[in-house]
Amino acid sequence: MRILNASGCLDALAAPEVARQLDAFVTKTVTPLPREGNAPPRIAETAHGMLNAIGLANPGRQRFLGEHLPRLGELGIPLWVSVGGFCADDYAETCAALEGIEVVELNLSCPNVDEAADSAAEIVAACRRATDLPLYAKLSAAHPDVAEVARAVAASGADGLSLVNTLRAFALDRRLRPVLARGSGGLSGPALKPVALHAVSVCHEATGLPIVGMGGIETGRDALEFAACGARDVALGTVLFADPGAPARVRSELEAACSEAGVANSDDARSLSKSPETEQKVPA
Amino acid sequence: MQSLGSPGRHRVTGAERVGPYTLLRLERGRLDPGAPGQFFMLEAPGRLLPRPFSLCLAPAGELAFLVDPVGPGTEALCGLGPGDEIRVLGPLGRGYRLDVERPLLVGGGIGIAPLPYLAEQLGSSPPVLLGFRSSEHAEAATLLPAAEVVIDPVLVTELIEPGHDILACGPEPMLEAVAALCSTAQLAWEAPMACGYGACYGCVVEIDGVLKRLCLEGPVLDAARVRTHAEVAA
């Protein structure tokens, strides 16, 4: 099991010693044009979670490729580049410009910007035509049937899935007004974990694609639960904020978690748990 | 700055009431107290995210933080007692430059927090002006016994005389008023912060006319750097 960061939850250039604990670093989402992001306040703590509305702040494709990517390359860590946009061509043009990285993660589910007009499957298909690099589709569990979306992106040529993105949510201040300047934000942290485990399970059953599981992972035991639901790898997000040593700690906790659960390793744990509802739904 | 890894656990050695605030003392362990104005992320018991605090005092073997109970995290920190342990990460960010000729320390409310350690590091007892919203809050001035103290509606900026190198910390309106009086002032800002080391992108403020992360650029900024889009465009 590889341990990655969730996109947007770590700046490898600002904190290289954290990034070096990872098996691969996932960049913040890159869009065609620079984005300053949303006005503050952008974050709020909630019960067992937090909201963020950063708004895809990033230097834009040109500066990312010219300045950031070469500096990230010097860190000597496998790189995954998260790609975003507002139509299929946005995504495909960035994919076509990328080389020398391990994976392209397509951010098809940012809760903090207006939705892309094209469907997830159309975007994946356009990117498939634009690059030979492995494509991971990052999906949201907000869809009523995330497994259906997973099947559609698999049919369009996705090589893997990143599950899950944050869920759109609200937090109110003492005067009952939204804490975040944008109003809504994406919910992450332990509150998201049960939702993410379910999404991983049904998408694994539906597609069999490699999955990076994420959503509230704080411990080795949490990571193992994602493996048990079908995730091949995991990503850490919110936990990094309180514990920049989390990747090394979670890795070291995995072994004890395996022996406590009676499995040899995380690969053995995979697919132990099957969701009855998907068994009913998946056609023979 | 300390190397970024899992924050170490530090034992509470004392928690004293100072007016409405609590001075929380922790065992220093191997933590470097850092430069005045730098900050530490303190675990807030029972909460998901740590909270940022500048160092208030650095007695031998201890680090002391002044906590204003304004929400569930800070209230939990004020409830700690000797023997409790919390995780601490730091020092982080950029503090005050100490190479100033005529320092004048200016604090508003809980903005007094970094000034006792700053005064100690500057040496030779720099003059200090403190403003508070009530006489209860002004009890915090006992942390800087030589300070000149005003209470609302008198504003601390009314006492500032020209010719000083101002080092200030306080609420935004106070910092903006100080910046208007003295473009070379060093100002310690505050923003909601989840991580303290540039990972969460939550703590942005308008710096040099664009949104930048306060944890990396500051929290202490030269007054001239804090400008809005409109000010830069003009």
Beta carbons of A81 and A107 less than 8 angstroms apart = no
In the sheet with B85-92, reading across from the earlier edge strand, the strands are B51-54, B39-42, B85-92, B8-18, B21-27, B62-67
For chain A, the straight-line distance linking the first and the last C-alpha, in angstroms and rounded, comes to 29
**pLDDT tens profile A132-160:** 999 999 999 998 899 999 999 999 999 99
Closest CA to B143 of B8, B22, B53, B2: B22
B22 with B88, same domain?
yes
- Give the closest residue to A6 by CA, choosing from A50, A42, A69, A66: A50
- Looking at residue A53, its pLDDT comes to 97
Name B22's bridge partners: B17, B67
Closest to B50 (Cβ–Cβ): which among A14, A39, A242?
A242
Clarify whether residues B70 and B111 are in a common domain.
Answer: no
Does the pLDDT at position B178 exceed 90?
yes
Residues 6+ apart with CB under 8 A from A219: A250, A253, A257
pLDDT tens sequence across A158-204 = 999 999 999 999 999 999 999 999 999 999 999 999 999 999 999 99
CA-CA distance, B35 to B37, in Å (whole number)? 6
**Contact across the interface for B192 and A54, Cβ inside 8 Å:** no
**CB contacts, 8 Å: A41 with chain B:** 192, 202
- Is the pLDDT reported for residue A116 higher than 70? no
Burial B65-97 (b: 16+ CB within 10 A, else e): bbbbeeeebbbbbbebeeeeebbbbbbbbbbbe
Residues of A within 8 A of B201 (CB-CB) are: 8, 11, 28, 37, 42, 52, 54, 57
Distance of alpha carbon A128 from alpha carbon B122, whole angstroms: 61
Q: How big is chain B by its Cα radius of gyration, in Å? A: 17
Candidates A42, A48, A240; nearest CB to B195: A240
Rounded distance between C-alpha atoms, residue A147 and residue A106, angstroms: 17
Q: Are residues B189 and B209 in the same domain?
A: yes
The residues pairing with B53 across neighbouring beta strands, listed in sequence order, are: B40
What is the token pair recorded at B71? 């929400």
pLDDT bucket at A223, cuts 50 / 70 / 90: very high
Quick check: B166 and B156 in contact, CB under 8 A? no
Assess if residue B97 is contained within a domain.
no
| pLDDT for position B230 | 62
Do B141 and B164 fall within a single domain?
Answer: yes
- Distance from A60 to chain B by nearest Cα, in Å? 15
Instruction: Provide the residue ranges of all domains of chain A, joining segments of one domain with +.
Output: 3-39+53-170+188-281
**Which of the listed residues B48, B71, B92 is the one where a domain comes to its end?**
B92
Residue B220 shares a structural domain with residue B194: yes
Q: B49 and A50: CB-CB below 8 Å?
A: yes
Nearest to A37 among B5, B193, B201 (CB): B201
User: Is there a single domain that holds both residue B87 and residue B119?
Assistant: no
B46, B61, B92 - which closes a domain? B92
- Number of compact structural domains in chain B: 2
The pLDDT of residue A284: 39
Q: Which residues of B touch A54 (CB under 8 A)?
A: 201-202
Mean pLDDT of A88-115: 88
CATH class of this structure's domain A3-39+53-170+188-281: alpha beta
Q: Kindly report, residue by residue over A99-110, the tens digit of the pLDDT.
A: 999 999 999 986
Closest chain B residue to A190 measured between Cα atoms? Answer: B48
Distance CA B52, CA B193 (A): 7
Nearest to A163 by CA among A131, A126, A195, A124: A195
Decide: pTM greater than 0.90: yes
Query: How does residue A283 score in pLDDT terms, banded at 50, 70 and 90?
Result: very low
B76 and B108 share a domain? Answer: no
| Shared domain check, B112 and B67 | no
**Considering only residues 234 to 253 of chain A, which have any Cβ-Cβ distance to chain B shorter than 8 Å?**
238, 240-246, 248-249
Residues B21 and B60 in one domain: yes
Residue in A37, A52, A249 nearest the CB of B6? A249
Q: Coil, strand, or helix at residue A175?
A: coil
CATH number, domain of B62, equals 2.40.30.10
Q: From CA B86, how far away is CA B25, in angstroms rounded?
A: 11
Query: What pLDDT, on a 0 to 100 scale, did the predictor assign at position A117?
Result: 58
Size of interface A-B (CB pairs under 8 A): 107
Lowest mean pLDDT among A183-187, A274-278, B10-14, B230-234: A274-278
CA distance A12 to A16: 5
Residue-range definition of the domain harbouring residue B71: 8-92
In a domain, B127, yes or no: yes
* Segment A202-213 mean pLDDT: 97
B206 in the same domain as B112: yes
CATH of the domain at B220: 3.40.50
Strand order from edge to edge, sheet including A167-169: A43-46, A49-52, A185-188, A167-169
Domain-embedded: residue B3: no
Q: Has residue B84 got a pLDDT over 50?
A: yes
Query: Cβ distance B48 to A49 under 8 Å?
Result: yes
Residues B34 and B81 in one domain: yes
Measure the CA–CA gap between A143 and A149, rounded to whole angstroms.
Answer: 8
Residues of A carrying an active site annotation: 110
Is omega for the bond preceding A164 within 30 degrees of 0, making it cis? yes
Note whether B54 and B177 are within 8 A (CB): no
Global ipTM: 0.94
Q: How confident is the model at residue B234, as a pLDDT? A: 61
In percent, the amount of chain A with pLDDT more than 90 equals 90
B112 and B228 together in one domain: yes
**pLDDT for B7:** 97
Please report, rounded to a whole number, the percentage of residues in chain B having pLDDT higher than 90. 92
Are the Cβ atoms of A240 and B73 closer than 8 angstroms? no
